[in-house]
């Protein structure tokens, strides 16, 4: 109803403006002015308006950047995140520099070279030197950015080969995440979608000896400075593991395993102190629009120190080693909280 009224009001306002313009034209005509003719006064006004627009626009840009900078993520909570932030900052500096230079030149020139009857425009059909400069400089700058970006990305993703990493599986489905810890053997048990049932949401193969000590949880706990390898799977559609505070994102694709290797570097407690906010929590979000309740698909992430982590881990329960995972005798997944 409100939108309908809004639409009608908008249409009426447009009609009213059109009528007023028409009236102004008619009065000008009646008073003998030729409204088609562009006068010196018009040119000066338009030229000055260009300067005003530049000035107001620049103030607006600087103000909004300052005003909303609090929405920018805090310092990275992972080791590799520092490289991503550097890359981002270099991009910001470049973009802002180019933006300010080009916009100031654009509007200042529009003012400076507004029409003047005593001045003739120069005719320059081509200028090879100029074209060379405006082709080569952006090519070098953009090429440099691509090489820099790829180098950082390769360095981050190649780190995966590290063998000391703790393996944690993240499993996405519409619409929640489950984390599986590999247990004492640091080896995840095999999983098979045929074994998925209400008591075994990840389809873990309980016949696999590696699966017996696996632990399923609904809250992701990470140990500070512990190299961690996320092993990522999805059940139904493409999801994406997104942990913005760690500068970490990787797609979760049905039918394949993806991975991300990283080292958490700031505990939840430290970050709360940094941000002066004792309600702060790290979060894992789904970053692929995966259906109606996509926005609810998140999991709390906690970075613990050694003691906190051990304390939490000791409270978890692993798979019941004796049960067999089939539909008639489902394995018990005691640690999966029914939210």
CA distance 72 to 89: 12
CB of 283 to Cu ion, least distance (A): 14
Nearer to Cu ion, 230 or 286 (CB): 286
Please return the burial class of 297, using the count of CB atoms within 10 Å of its CB with bins 0-12, 13-18 and 19+. Answer: buried
Tokens of 60: 């607006």
DSSP classification of residue 243: E
Q: How far apart are CA 130 and CA 107, in angstroms?
A: 20
- 284 lies in the site for Cu ion, by CB under 5 A: no
Stretch that binds Cu ion, among 73-81, 213-221, 280-288, 302-310 (CB under 5 A): 280-288
* 23-42 binders of Cu ion (CB under 5 A): none
Taking CB atoms within 8 Å and a gap of at least 24, the contacts of 308-314 are 308/267, 309/221, 309/222, 309/223, 309/224, 312/221, 313/181, 313/215, 313/221
Output 239 or 247, the one with its CB closest to Cu ion: 239
Q: Decide whether 83 or 174 has the Cβ nearer to Cu ion.
A: 174
Cβ 201 to Cu ion shortest distance, Å: 15
Give me the least distance between CB of 300 and Cu ion, in Å please: 16
- Give the Cα separation of 206 and 213 in Å (integer): 10
| Torsion sign over Cα 182, 188, 193, 194 | negative
For Cu ion, give the closer residue by CB, 182 or 286: 286
Here's the x/- map for Cu ion, 285-324, by CB under 5 A: it reads as -x---x------x---------------------------
Least CB distance to Cu ion at residue 242 (A): 10
For Cu ion, give the closer residue by CB, 170 or 325. Answer: 170
Contact 333, 216 (CB under 8 A): yes
Site residues for Cu ion, 169-198, by CB under 5 A, read none
Question: From the list 195, 239, 245, 247, which residue makes contact with Cu ion (rule: CB under 5 A)?
Answer: 239
What's the maximum distance between 2 C-alpha atoms anywhere in the chain? 101
User: Whose Cβ is closer to Cu ion: residue 210's or residue 259's?
Assistant: 259
Cβ 228 to Cu ion shortest distance, Å: 21
Residues 49 and 39: their CA atoms lie apart, in Å, by: 15
What is the four-CA torsion angle of 324, 327, 333, 334, rounded to 10 degrees? -100
User: How many residues make contact with Cu ion (CB under 5 A)?
Assistant: 4
Shortest Å distance, C-beta 308 to Cu ion: 29
Cβ nearer to Cu ion, comparing 170 with 297 = 297
Interface residue list for Cu ion (CB under 5 A) = 239, 286, 290, 297
């Amino acid at each position: 109803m409100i939108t309908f009224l809004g639409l009608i009001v908008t249409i009426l306002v447009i009609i009213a403006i059109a009528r007023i313009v028409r009236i102004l034209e008619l009065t000008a005509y009646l008073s003998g002015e030729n409204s088609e003719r562009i006068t010196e006064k018009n040119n000066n006004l338009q030229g000055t308006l260009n300067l005003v627009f530049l000035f107001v626009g620049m103030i607006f840009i600087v103000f909004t950047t300052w005003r909303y900078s609090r929405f920018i993520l805090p310092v990275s909570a992972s080791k590799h995140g520092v490289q991503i932030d550097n890359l981002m900052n270099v991009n910001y500096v470049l973009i802002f520099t180019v933006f300010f230079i080009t916009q100031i030149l654009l509007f200042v020139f529009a003012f400076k070279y507004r029409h003047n009857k005593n001045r003739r425009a120069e005719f320059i059909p081509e200028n090879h030197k100029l074209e060379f400069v405006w082709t080569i400089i952006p090519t070098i700058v953009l090429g440099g950015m691509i090489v820099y970006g790829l180098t950082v990305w390769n360095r981050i993703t190649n780190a995966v080969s590290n063998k000391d990493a703790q393996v944690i599986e993240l499993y996405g489905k519409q619409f929640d995440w489950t984390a599986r810890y590999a247990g004492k053997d640091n080896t995840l048990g095999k999983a098979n979608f045929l074994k998925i049932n209400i008591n075994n949401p990840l389809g873990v193969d309980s016949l696999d000896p590696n699966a017996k000590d696996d632990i399923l949880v609904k809250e992701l706990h990470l140990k500070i400075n512990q190299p961690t390898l996320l092993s990522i799977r999805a059940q139904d559609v493409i999801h994406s593991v997104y942990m913005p505070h760690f500068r970490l994102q990787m797609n979760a694709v049905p039918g394949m395993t993806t991975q991300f290797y990283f080292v958490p570097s700031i505990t939840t407690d430290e970050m709360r102190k940094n941000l002066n906010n004792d309600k702060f929590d790290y979060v894992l979000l789904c970053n692929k629009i995966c259906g109606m309740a996509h926005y609810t698909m998140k999991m709390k992430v906690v970075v613990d120190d050694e003691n906190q982590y051990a304390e939490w881990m000791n409270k978890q329960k692993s798979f019941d080693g004796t049960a067999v995972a089939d539909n008639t005798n489902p394995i018990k997944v005691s640690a999966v909280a029914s939210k």
